[in-house]
Amino acid sequence: MSNPDILGIHHVTAIASDPQKNVDFYAGVLGLRLVKRTVNFDDPGTYHFYYGDEVGTPGTILTFFPWPGAPRGLHGTGQLTVTSFSIPAASMGWWRDRLKARGVQTEGPYSRFDEEVLDFMDHDGLKLELVAHPGADLRPGWEGGSVPGDHAIRGFYGVTLSEEGYQRTAGLLSRDMGFKEGPSFGNRFRYTVGEGDAMARVDLLCQPDDRPGTVAVGTVHHVAWRAADDGAQLSWRTRLVDLGYNVTPVLDRQYFHSIYYREPGGVLFEIATDPPGFTTDESIAELGTHLQLPPWLEPRRRVIEQILEPIRQPDSEVPTR
């Protein structure tokens, strides 16, 4: 029998503007691996980039829909407003210096609960954090990128959801989805899910006086939670429907299967399966080097490739699609 629990964060998906600048920042500056370049299955004229560790392990995957020319979004309630990465406890100074040298403005580091935090934004205004803590070393960093393995990002630490009121969302997390209530301070309420090195923190920020957010460039589209397999996902779908949530059918995302629903505060949640993973159509060595299309879009490859802007890996001189 499969593990029925939510195992942690599977991925976070955000909206970007220029695709090349997105690759330059996340692969070049942050040192994440571009493990898959494909298209938005619902809008195949748009790229879908996946960044993570060497193989795109669930819990390390940050994905983007780059929409050149799209308007900037508005950060506010009903959104995932901060995505937090895990780094080794001794790496905070190294990262502060690296970001400064590359023109990225930072705030901190400062202490929050038992962690050290550095705030910054990407070129589109997406809010990010690096969180230094002893448990980061339980996960390996990718050693083949632009950041030395000793300092490499170790996947997600957690996410922050901004809410007009937090109690109904807290009820969904703790009563219905198996999250554990953690510490709180002021208007920040922490919940955790998963075990060991896969544990994810979810901070609810209660901000009743803030304006509602608008999802567009520089904002997060959704957060996905990990299900062990299809059976566990279907169990979650049945449970959520019984609780009154409007849940999508299971959708085939080629590298995982997905269901979607909105939590009471308005943030779009997904439950995604761990398998089959990103090596279904590329070897580990070739991950992210070619445009991969699902079988139902292959007949349109020539048209899609003509629409998409060519991109290159950081420091690469040969454009690729």
Q: What is the rounded CA–CA span in Å between residue 153 and residue 52? A: 9
| Mean pLDDT value across the chain | 95
Q: Whose CA is closest to 23, among 289, 320, 311, 220? A: 311
Instruction: Give the containing element (helix H, strand E) for 79.
Output: strand 79-87
Beta bridge partners of 120: 106, 128
The Cα–Cα gap between 41 and 48 comes to 8
pLDDT score for 70: 95
DSSP class of residue 146 equals S
Binned at pLDDT 50, 70 and 90, residue 138 comes out as confident
197 has a pLDDT exceeding 90:
no
Residues 6+ apart with CB under 8 A from 34: 23, 26, 27, 49, 50, 51, 287, 288, 313
Return the closest-CA partner of residue 163 out of 59, 73, 309, 262.
Answer: 262
Tokens of 242: 């019984």
Beta strands 180-185; 188-193: pairing state: antiparallel
Q: Over the stretch 5-23, which tens digit does the pLDDT of each residue have?
A: 999 999 999 999 999 999 9
- The answer on pLDDT for 303 being more than 50 is yes
Between the CA of residue 37 and those of 19, 26, 74, 264, 282, what are the distances in Å?
11, 13, 27, 32, 11
Strand partners of residue 28? none
Q: Prior bond to 109 cis, omega within 30?
A: yes
Handedness of CA 272, 276, 277, 281 (dihedral sign): negative
pTM for the whole thing?
0.96
C-alpha angle 107-193-130 in degrees, rounded to nearest 5: 15
Whole-angstrom distance, CA of residue 169 vs CA of residue 145: 37
What is the edge-to-edge ordering of all strands in the sheet holding 127-132?
106-112, 115-121, 127-132, 79-87, 156-163, 200-206, 188-193, 180-185
pLDDT level of residue 320 (50, 70, 90 thresholds): very low
- Between CA 154 and CA 137 the distance in angstroms is 8
* Res 317 pLDDT > 60: no
> What is the side-by-side strand order in the sheet with 61-66?
33-40, 43-52, 61-66, 9-16, 220-227, 268-273, 257-262, 251-252
Tokens representing residue 317 in the block: 């001189």
pLDDT tens, 27-71? 999 999 999 999 999 899 999 999 999 999 999 999 999 999 999
Peptide bond into 208 cis (omega under 30): no
**Of 60, 65, 216, nearest to 142 (Cα)?**
60
Answer CATH for 9-307 from 2.40.30.20, 3.90.1150.110, 3.30.1330.40, 3.10.180.10:
3.10.180.10
Residue 111 · residue 89 · CB < 8 Å? no
Assess whether pLDDT exceeds 70 at residue 315.
Answer: no
225: phi then psi, degrees, rounded to nearest 5: -105, 150
CA–CA gap between residue 39 and residue 198 (Å, rounded): 28
> So what's the pLDDT on residue 196?
87
> How many residues are recorded in the chain?
321
**Would you state the pLDDT for residue 30?**
98
